Structure 1
Amino acid sequence: MKCIYCNTDSTYRERSDGSCKRCHRRFAFEPKTMNKQFVLTDKAFQAAINAVSEKETLFFTPRQLYYQLLSPKVKPPKLNQKGSKGWVGVTIIVIFFSIWIPGFVGGVMSAFTHNDLPPRILAGIVPPILLGLVLWWRFVPLIGIAFWLSTIIGELVALFTKNWLTGLVIGSGLFVIGLLLRFLVPTPRGKGAKKLIGKLAKRPPISYDYFKTTLLDRWLAVHGQPLKMLPEGGRLRPALRNQSESDMEQYSFDRLLVVDKAETVDVLLANNLHFETNMPIVSLDGYPQDVFPEVLKTVRRNLNLKVFALHDTDAKGCLLPLRLREDSSWFPQPNITVIDLGLTPRQVAAQPALLLQKQTRLESLPPELKRNLSPGERRWLQAGNYAELANFRPARLMRAIFQSLQCAAEEEQRLKAAAASDPRGFFQTSQPTARHPTDQPPTSGGWPTPPSTR
């Protein structure tokens, strides 16, 4: 295991005292004595810190570090996303190699061994096994299994019956049956993908509480506080708070971002998203408390205010847009536009790499969710599933917010231009909708589906 300070590699015997053999700095983790379900080294933990902080340029929360640490440990399910033309190509490749490889290998081995039976066995069984494993790993398991079994059975039948035509017919028939099963068994393509992804979604191998009390506390005790890590639970360090309420009334804001957790507010404020977008950021429970009343008072004066809701994929989070729209304690004006940025269950279903959490106790869903979630989404929540925004690193989270704001602004300009070119009023304007960045040519980052306007 390598030391994070001098990069010296120490064997288990050389680090028996828990320190580096060269610089004698302590190791935080010992893979040999850790739980086999989740083995960790100091280098891996440091790499997760560098990744989530973009090499110590962005602030992050402990929960974001938790998900970043798990991201290489939990791989998304390998799903088929190729079209029908791809399957034609795979089938042609399979048929070609099923004929060429056994013949070539068998011929070469027969020339050197002067014995016909062993080369035929090796040529008929070993290449299909290898090619079947490649098909399993690279394309689809069912085609790999079909090719593997059909070829082996066909070769064995030919060897024992001494009739190669019979073996060829049986092997080819089994392979055709395998291909037919491939098209009869549903695969994750199109709309059916989201349902299957939900079943295949990965669960974290360790809980956040275990990460915090066992791994993070151990790291802090040995190596100290990471430079860009924020305190947990919405307690932004005073040195990072640069907001002033004395001249708040001099400003006018066209946009407001409301999130469901104070720690999400902290990471966005610490990374200056509010300055770069000229948009205040507050939480549902009134955080940050020192400026929340002034912010709410200021934004209420703007009748054209647009409110963006950002939340986890749980029942409380999915209710956030409705509450902002209908709770008069937030906005008494009935014409306030509320745009749901997510996360919603349908957005989570489109990203199989996200780690899902499971509630230990299922609760009945609020009836209001019927107004903005489909029956399938409600069933997904009712089953105790939820996903957290902390799945996303700060850079990706802010990039998605930037893109959604830009799309909302472009949509508003389009509607204004259409209305201005229609002086007789035949063009009926509507509330702007925040189009999702992936409605355009694919770009990096962003949410998986278009957010909705409530």
Structure 2
Amino acid sequence: MKCIQCAADNNLKDRTANQGRCKNCNHPFAFEPTIMDVKIRFTDGFFAKALADISANDTLYFTPKQLLYLLEKRLGRRAAVSERAAKIIPGVFLVAIGFFTAVFGIGLIIIPIGLWLIISGLRRPVRRSDPHRDIALTNTMVNTWLQQWQRYNPPPTKLLPPPSAAVALAPAADDVTAYSFDRVLVCDSVAIAQLLIANNIHFEHNCAVLSMTGYPRSIFATTMAMLRRNPDLQVIALHNCSPRGMALVHQLRTSPDWFAENTPMIFDLGLLPRQIEAARQQAYIQVSTESAQAAKSMSAEVRQSLSETELQWLEAGYFVELESFTPQKLIQIVSRGIARLQNLGDNVDENLILVGDGGDSGSTFIYAADNFG
């Protein structure tokens, strides 16, 4: 195992003899793979690279759950590689033994077994009709690893605190009044709103960022008052692919706390079930009975905005969280979504669905993106 400070290679004997420290520079190792669960063994170098990648080399803020998803994906890939190796290596060994013992006739039995192991190890796994994945990691595990890491290494500077403690990352009320926002992005998740604000989406795209629950609380009322005064306001909805997420656009249209008295254009950026189907290999699909029950309880207004296939998908309990995407990917998706909305201009085409009575008043144009990113 290589030391992240000096890159010296330390085997188990070295690490044991030096009480868990590098034999060359004496820097402590935060993790000892040999005492970890075999399915989630990793080194300091693995964890350091995960932190560097999730933050785009310490340039982007990220949430603890985004780190959890990244570790889950990478450890899952390593487990898959280990499973393949567990078949291929014995297979090669059996084929070699078979050739040497062929003269005695034993090889005629051993070689086919070895070849079968090699082929089954090399073969791509069959795509399951049920695509969901179970998450092995927990928030407690990741928090424990972060504490272990910070015991001997600098803390990740871009790791976001809980939203309630993130007041310093939100713009002040005086700063908000200096903007003239042309659009607002509303998230069903406080964590995603916090992430986008921390990474300056509001500044880069002249776009206010709020959560459905009113985050950031200190500027929510001021921002909403400004937005309602804009007759050309564009609203972007960004939500998890879940029953709660599916209700976001309806809430924006009908809630007096939002735009029930206004008629803005609403752009549903996603996530929608049809977008997940189009990008199945990239999406981290999960399933739960709670999600299935919530889907069956969705209001008629929300249900009529979804196809029968989408309703069946949700009622089966499937869901995808936005935090399963990296900060870099999410920011890229939001930036592209805003660009598409700007290019849309006044052209109303077949991709715009008119919701309401169809008259000049009380109608809202809702544009739903066909893909996520």
Question: Secondary structure of 2:75's partner?
Answer: coil
1:409 aligns with 2:342: yes
* Structure 1 residues without counterparts, runs of 5 or longer: 79-108, 110-116, 142-187, 189-195, 417-429, 439-445, 448-454
Distance in 2 (CA, whole Å) between partners of 1:358 and 1:435 is 24
Distance in 2 (CA, whole Å) between partners of 1:250 and 1:3 is 49
Question: Secondary structure of 2:268's partner?
Answer: strand
CA RMSD of aligned residues (A): 3.4
Contact between 1:355 and 1:387, CA under 8 Å: does it hold in 2?
yes
Question: Secondary structure of 2:174's partner?
Answer: coil
Question: Secondary structure of 1:14's partner?
Answer: helix
1:25 aligns with 2:27: yes
Distance in 1 (CA, whole Å) between partners of 2:268 and 2:348 is 19
2:138 match: 207
Letter aligned with residue 19 of structure 1: R
CA 1:338/1:431 → structure 2, altered by over 3 Å: closer, same or farther?
A: closer
1:433 match: 367
Where in structure 2 are the equivalents of 1:93-132 lying within 5 Å?
Answer: none
2:204 match: 276
1:223 aligns with 2:225: no
Distance in 2 (CA, whole Å) between partners of 1:354 and 1:282 is 24
1:337 aligns with 2:265: yes
Q: CA deviation at 1:279?
A: 0.3
CA 1:432/1:414 → structure 2, altered by over 3 Å: closer, same or farther?
A: farther
Question: Please, which of 57, 60, 82 is the counterpart of residue 62 of structure 2?
Answer: 60
Letter aligned with residue 318 of structure 1: M
1:182 match: none
Letter aligned with residue 218 of structure 1: Q
Distance in 2 (CA, whole Å) between partners of 1:73 and 1:45 is 11
Q: CA deviation at 1:347?
A: 2.4
1:15 match: 15
Distance in 1 (CA, whole Å) between partners of 2:71 and 2:193 is 22
Specify the structure having the higher radius of gyration (Cα): 1
Contact between 2:243 and 2:298, CA under 8 Å: does it hold in 1?
no
Residue-by-residue CA offset, 1:302-330 (whole Å, 9 max, x unaligned): 22211111112222122111111111221
Question: Please, which of 313, 317, 326 is the counterpart of residue 380 of structure 1?
Answer: 313
* Structure 2 residues without counterparts, runs of 5 or longer: 81-98, 350-363
Instruction: Report which stretch shifted further, 359-368 or 34-43.
Output: 359-368
1:370 aligns with 2:298: no
Distance in 2 (CA, whole Å) between partners of 1:24 and 1:250 is 52
Residue-by-residue CA offset, 1:87-115 (whole Å, 9 max, x unaligned): xxxxxxxxxxxxxxxxxxxxxx9xxxxxx
Letter aligned with residue 4 of structure 1: I
Distance in 1 (CA, whole Å) between partners of 2:53 and 2:305 is 35
Contact between 2:132 and 2:318, CA under 8 Å: does it hold in 1?
no
Q: CA deviation at 1:234?
A: 4.8
Contact between 1:325 and 1:337, CA under 8 Å: does it hold in 2?
no
Q: CA deviation at 1:250?
A: 5.7
1:50 match: 52
1:255 aligns with 2:183: yes
Letter aligned with residue 245 of structure 1: A
TM-score (structure 1 length as normaliser): 0.64
Q: CA deviation at 1:54?
A: 0.7
Residue-by-residue CA offset, 1:19-73 (whole Å, 9 max, x unaligned): 2122222211111011112112111111000001111111111111111122222
CA 1:122/1:14 → structure 2, altered by over 3 Å: closer, same or farther?
A: closer
Distance in 1 (CA, whole Å) between partners of 2:369 and 2:273 is 18
1:399 match: 332
1:325 aligns with 2:325: no
CA 1:396/1:433 → structure 2, altered by over 3 Å: closer, same or farther?
A: same
Distance in 2 (CA, whole Å) between partners of 1:293 and 1:393 is 30
Letter aligned with residue 58 of structure 1: L
CA 1:346/1:216 → structure 2, altered by over 3 Å: closer, same or farther?
A: farther
1:3 match: 3
